[in-house]
Structure 1
Amino acid sequence: MIRALTGYSTRNPWKVIALWVVLGISLALLSPMLLARVTQSQTGDFLPKSYDSAAALRIAEDDFGMKPDATTVTVLVARTDGQALTAADQQRVEAEAAKLAQRRVVMPRKDDEPAFLVPDRSQTPRVAPAMVAPDRSFELLSAELTGNAADEGVQGVYRAFRDATVARFADAGMRTGFTGGLADAVDTADSHRTAATVGSALVMGLIVLLNVLVFRSVAAALLPLLAVAMIGSVAGGAVAVAATLTGLKLDAGTPGLVSVVLLGIGVDYLLFLLFRFREHLRARPEQPAREAAAQVTARVGTAITSAALTIVAAFATLGVASFGQFRSLGPAIAVAVLVMLLGSLTMMPALLAACGRGMFWPSRSLRRQPGEGFAARFGALVARRPLPMLLAALARLGALAAGMTGIRMDYGLGGAGDRTPAAATAAEISRTLPAGVSDPTSVYVVTTDGTTLTPGRAGGPAPPPPPPGGGGGGGC
């Protein structure tokens, strides 16, 4: 089977390359639409039904009419001069909130994006007053949007809603702040966008630089990355198609994780083929390049297949996990790795056969056998003195791990390490109200005998009437 795939690819390289290019471009355009249909917007639906939080979600949906994919944003409104809100200010805030609740927020879209390929997340949020601070320094509004906080479309809708809200209250002489899970996710993504872009560029640049230094060739440096990108596009579409056919629901973060895995293993497999191809050409300078490509890829393809199937089997075991995100992530990555394996056995052999010795131009390294390098000398040293080298490696790893001593992880809004606007708003709220107000957790209490539930039976006193002026109160 492996020899049949690699043999056909090296005999018909341009047909194979053209097929992968067409599939890659087509599925890159269709993937957003396909993935939108198989993406689960409510993270809680991935939980086993026996979990308390999953049961609470069903109660909220069935008995209280809440949307299963609702996400709440807490909006802080205060006077710009720092004075306490007056009754007139509070009425103005609530009037503006009512207007916002009637305004449809349109999802921004790039000019070059066809409308039918991009899922439309436009919606009319539910906006309502939540509570007024005891010192009347601010009022909180509750804005409900629908969709997964990790969905870029939902994040775009939130940005449009945030900008419109800021502008509306600014005209009234008031400032606003936003917090909650969605607001924190968007602020974190925005604050890290530049770092992520620079980091990705540096990683890609480093890969290209290392390839140039090793192969002394522009083609050998760039073609593997282009091949991985093309195969990755096909893999993303294959994951969406497989999920559609099987009814599997994916998390919004799955495509990003799939891309990371494919980049690592794809570059590894393709560079492995390049190294062996160069060695073969050095040993047999008179052999035609296509024949050499066929022999190398057939032999190396066995090792690549073994490695890929091991990864597939490892990720496929997540299909029996109780947590739904893992149960869908494992098979998704397994399908993507299978596509990368297929690309490694077809597209890369076709590239080697099509380029031949030109793959390593303008390097002249094919004409001479390289001398013993640093890696060979270091390997010989490890073989001669295994125990001292093992102890030295453990010592270095221990020194590096020592940097983790005393580290404290904080996943809450407004943590010590957070510097986002959402975290600042959460911190401002927590100075006056309980910290949970920023991102509230609802508790649902039901009777076991089907009778009416009263505040007294729930274990607490009846709630006090709301204060004059309409300020609502929070509760569970």
Structure 2
Amino acid sequence: MSPTRRLAGLPCGRRGKWVVLALWLVLLVAAGPLAGRLTDAEDNQASSWLPGNAESTRVLAEQREFQPVDTAQAVVVYVRDTGITPADRAEAARDAEAFATAPHVLGRVSGPVESADGKALQTVVPIDIGTGGWQDLRPAVDSLRATAAADSLGMTTHVTGPAGIGADQAEAFAGIDSTLLAATVTVVIVLLLLTYRSPVLWALPLFSAAAALVVAQAVIYLLAEHTGLTVNAQSAGILIVLVLGAGTDYALLLTARYREELRRHRDRHEAMAFALHRAGPAILASSATVAASMLCLLAAEMNSTSGLGPVCAIGVVVALAAMLTLLPALLVIVGRWVFWPVRPAFGTPEPTTTGRWAHIGAWIGRRPRKVWTGTALALAVCCTGLVWLNATGLSTAGTFTGTPDSVTGQEVLAEHFPAGTGAPLTVVSAAGGAGAVRAVTLDTAGVAGASEPVVHEGRAMFRATLTDPPDSGAAEDTVDRLRTAVHAVPGADAGVGGSTAVILDAGRAATSDNRTIIPLVLGVVLVILALLLRAVTAPLVLIATVVLSYAAALGISAFFFEHVFHFEGQDNAFPLFVFVFLVALGIDYNIFLMTRVREEAAHRGTRPGAVAGLAATGGVITSAGLILASTFAVLGTLPVVGFAEIGFAVALGVLLDTFVVRSVLVTALTMDLDRHMWWPSPLSRPPARPAREPSAQPGGA
């Protein structure tokens, strides 16, 4: 037995299987409590999402010198269309006194202030964000809303501002882990039942994937607590979907190969050893591709994007470990009966060799060039939907699939007060230049007013109110003008921050990340494919097909977002996230297919090898694609536009790659290029001609 096959047999040996199971059970007992504490380690404060070197981030850090804790302004708005009455003013004043005792309220409550049109009042309440980030905003904002609405004397009340918006965002993300976990597990169970048509087999892949998720969450919790790894609600939610989706994919591939080998070997231990030996490299290369692609996100300027990379990479690596150790051990322990009612008995024929995918492969083989050119043209047509792509960021209202109270309140506030009242800019400077900085601030177009500077240890800070809504393009233009003005004040060392500045800096950082990370991911994937397939042509062809698939999925998604869902646009980081997930996961299926085609081509030739490879992997890859697409589609259950868009686009892209790109386009290209697909490996050389028989000599016997 070769060393690699002997190594592959360790997790499924007669004794090794029990050792592996015991080790995983011990690991789960230790990891369970730690995994449950991952939510406590999440950092959802603004600094965990912002670009680390942005001016708004530096201002946010310096702002803490002027106030002992991070605060967010809640703006309570009272509206009466017929005009505010004296009783309304008295009631709002009593509310302001009550607000001071609300949970997490810290600092002076300002107001109520009446609007110029006499139809609205506003009270500004500072709320301690605390270590829990936006989660600490919810109890305070809930208390403000209850107090303001309790006796409003017929006025309409809303709570908006950064604190109100943050609380509604926290509400949207509430229970994200449990919601995603329950929905994803349900989807996986249903699809595994349909795939295996067995009432028990589905439990083993699901248990293995769940074990991987628990261990991954525990590892990430420890790294977040002791190494400073940034974890937030976004990365924690995507981790669940990725581990369960990718882990189940690996399980399907291994289980399908194991079922093949059971028909060739009497001993199930030997069958699993062969299955691991044959399928292991493809699964390993697939996980390496995903993990390496995710680690490319470390190059991102955005802290939220940079932190997502290692979180997802850890999840994929742990999923790989579970599917190459725990799952083989479980399958061998339970024996062949787990496949009931269709047990793969020794000596029975492999049904995939004459199934639907074998017929599709034969059909493609009759006209491969027409098939791949027609498919590529159809995908190119789908790419035209990119004209509706609007990944320039989302306004506050555009981030929610519904219309929460804070969004309505912001619209009311903009109608009766200067639009930027609830979210002023923060300007910091040297104390000596504070007067000059404030003067140029008031002279800047788009600034409605500025507070008096507060001085602390040689630095000064004041607030500037904008005339435009804080999430508008006009407000961002004002930030640019103001920064140019204050930076020009000699010796002031001034900076401009605040929510509008944060939106501006985050958008620019995301655009920069797109330009940096997308080529980096392509390069990493290309190298891994070249090493795996030991060729140059095949990796270039596969990369081209995945990029085409990505562009087509993005085009179709943009069309649906604009004309069906009527979303406002896309987040700046949307193209990057979709690209990383689709390229990393889409290349998975090409790896599964092409490693099998290469294996078959070594003794059949490339054209028949492509048919055999498609026949052997078509069913399992299709099932894997359906499961992965469904798990990402679960993100659409959250009332957050960013998640819904990522879930829709990735799910669509995975389905497109599974049913069109991998099964049709790649197969047709492989057949058309034939042996040239493997250049410059030995498989690309023409077959040796058989030696000619020596001609008979005249007069020979």
TM-score (normalised: structure 1): 0.78
Aligned to 1:251: 232
Residue number among 302, 305, 308 corresponding to 2:284 in the alignment: 305
Structure 1 residue 346 displacement after superposition: 1.4
Offset from partner CA, 1:337-375 (integer Å, 9 cap, x none)? 222222122111111111221221122454553262222
Aligned to 1:23: 27
Say if 2:428 is the partner of 1:426.
no
**Residues 231 and 161 of structure 1: is their aligned pair in 2 closer, same or farther, counting only changes over 3 Å?**
same
Distance 1:144 1:281 in 2: 67
Distance 2:451 2:291 in 1: 60
**Residues 195 and 315 of structure 1: is their aligned pair in 2 closer, same or farther, counting only changes over 3 Å?**
closer
Offset from partner CA, 1:103-128 (integer Å, 9 cap, x none)? 33xxxxxxxxxxxxxxxxxx345572
Residue number among 382, 392, 395 corresponding to 2:364 in the alignment: 382
SS of the equivalent of 1:74 reads: strand
Q: Is the 8 A contact 1:446 1:453 kept in 2?
A: no
Note the 1:284-295 alignment, pairs <5 A. 284=265, 287-295=266-274
Structure 1 residue 235 displacement after superposition: 0.4
Residue number among 407, 426, 439 corresponding to 1:443 in the alignment: 426
Structure 1 or 2: more helix by fraction: 2
SS of the equivalent of 2:396 reads: coil
Offset from partner CA, 1:291-330 (integer Å, 9 cap, x none)? 3223322442233222222322222233343333333322
Aligned to 1:330: 309
Offset from partner CA, 1:411-436 (integer Å, 9 cap, x none)? 11345975333222222222223333
Distance 2:278 2:377 in 1: 39
Distance 2:39 2:92 in 1: 39
Note the 1:32-51 alignment, pairs <5 A. 32-34=36-38, 36-37=40-41, 39-44=42-47, 47=50, 50-51=53-54
Q: Is the 8 A contact 2:424 2:464 kept in 1?
A: no
Residue number among 142, 148, 153 corresponding to 1:169 in the alignment: 148
Aligned to 2:296: 317
Offset from partner CA, 1:383-435 (integer Å, 9 cap, x none)? 33233222332344355555565465661134597533322222222222333
- Opposite residue 223 of structure 2, the aligned amino acid is A
Structure 1 residue 237 displacement after superposition: 0.8
Unaligned runs of 5+ in 2: 453-462, 467-701
Structure 1 residue 457 displacement after superposition: 3.8
TM-score (normalised: structure 2): 0.55
Aligned to 2:194: 213
- Opposite residue 330 of structure 2, the aligned amino acid is L
- Opposite residue 360 of structure 2, the aligned amino acid is F
Q: Is the 8 A contact 1:225 1:267 kept in 2?
A: yes
SS of the equivalent of 1:244 reads: helix
Say if 2:53 is the partner of 1:56.
no
Structure 1 residue 9 displacement after superposition: 4.9
**Residues 375 and 89 of structure 1: is their aligned pair in 2 closer, same or farther, counting only changes over 3 Å?**
same
Say if 2:14 is the partner of 1:13.
no
Distance 1:252 1:195 in 2: 8
Offset from partner CA, 1:115-166 (integer Å, 9 cap, x none)? xxxxxxxx345572354322232222333334499x6x844x5443344333
Offset from partner CA, 1:242-272 (integer Å, 9 cap, x none)? 3334333333422112222212221111111
Distance 2:450 2:51 in 1: 37
Q: Is the 8 A contact 1:24 1:233 kept in 2?
A: yes
User: In percent, how many aligned pairs have the same letter?
Assistant: 26
- Opposite residue 317 of structure 1, the aligned amino acid is C
Give the aligned CA root-mean-square deviation in angstroms: 3.9
- Opposite residue 67 of structure 2, the aligned amino acid is G
Offset from partner CA, 1:183-212 (integer Å, 9 cap, x none)? 446546757989999997776555434433
Distance 1:332 1:239 in 2: 7
**Residues 434 and 411 of structure 1: is their aligned pair in 2 closer, same or farther, counting only changes over 3 Å?**
farther
Q: Is the 8 A contact 2:84 2:119 kept in 1?
A: yes
Distance 1:95 1:393 in 2: 69
Total equivalences in the alignment = 440
Q: Is the 8 A contact 1:280 1:296 kept in 2?
A: yes
Residue number among 411, 432, 449 corresponding to 2:394 in the alignment: 411
**Residues 34 and 195 of structure 1: is their aligned pair in 2 closer, same or farther, counting only changes over 3 Å?**
closer
**Residues 460 and 423 of structure 1: is their aligned pair in 2 closer, same or farther, counting only changes over 3 Å?**
closer
**Residues 160 and 35 of structure 1: is their aligned pair in 2 closer, same or farther, counting only changes over 3 Å?**
closer
Aligned to 1:353: 332
Q: Is the 8 A contact 1:41 1:148 kept in 2?
A: no
Note the 1:128-139 alignment, pairs <5 A. 128-129=109-110, 131-139=113-121
Distance 1:177 1:351 in 2: 56
Aligned to 1:397: 379
Aligned to 1:469: none
Residue number among 204, 220, 224 corresponding to 2:205 in the alignment: 224
Aligned to 2:78: 77
Offset from partner CA, 1:34-66 (integer Å, 9 cap, x none)? 5534x434333565564221232133222x326
Residue number among 47, 51, 67 corresponding to 1:65 in the alignment: 67
Judge which range, 396-405 or 373-382, deviates more: 396-405
- Opposite residue 33 of structure 1, the aligned amino acid is R
Distance 2:202 2:226 in 1: 37
Q: Is the 8 A contact 1:9 1:347 kept in 2?
A: no
**Residues 21 and 393 of structure 1: is their aligned pair in 2 closer, same or farther, counting only changes over 3 Å?**
farther
Distance 2:325 2:451 in 1: 72
Offset from partner CA, 1:64-108 (integer Å, 9 cap, x none)? 32634x3333322345xx44333453343233223222233xxxx
**Residues 335 and 400 of structure 1: is their aligned pair in 2 closer, same or farther, counting only changes over 3 Å?**
same
Distance 1:388 1:193 in 2: 51
Distance 1:144 1:18 in 2: 53
Say if 2:91 is the partner of 1:92.
yes
Distance 2:106 2:25 in 1: 41
Distance 1:392 1:327 in 2: 39
**Residues 296 and 379 of structure 1: is their aligned pair in 2 closer, same or farther, counting only changes over 3 Å?**
same
Q: Is the 8 A contact 1:415 1:423 kept in 2?
A: no
Distance 1:239 1:170 in 2: 42
SS of the equivalent of 1:443 reads: strand
Q: Is the 8 A contact 2:105 2:140 kept in 1?
A: no
**Residues 337 and 463 of structure 1: is their aligned pair in 2 closer, same or farther, counting only changes over 3 Å?**
closer
Say if 2:347 is the partner of 1:343.
no
Unaligned runs of 5+ in 1: 105-122, 467-472
Q: Is the 8 A contact 2:102 2:140 kept in 1?
A: no
Q: Is the 8 A contact 1:34 1:237 kept in 2?
A: yes
**Residues 403 and 35 of structure 1: is their aligned pair in 2 closer, same or farther, counting only changes over 3 Å?**
same
**Residues 127 and 378 of structure 1: is their aligned pair in 2 closer, same or farther, counting only changes over 3 Å?**
farther
Offset from partner CA, 1:431-462 (integer Å, 9 cap, x none)? 22333334x14130524x83552687435389
Distance 2:52 2:289 in 1: 32
Q: Is the 8 A contact 2:184 2:244 kept in 1?
A: no
Aligned to 1:113: none
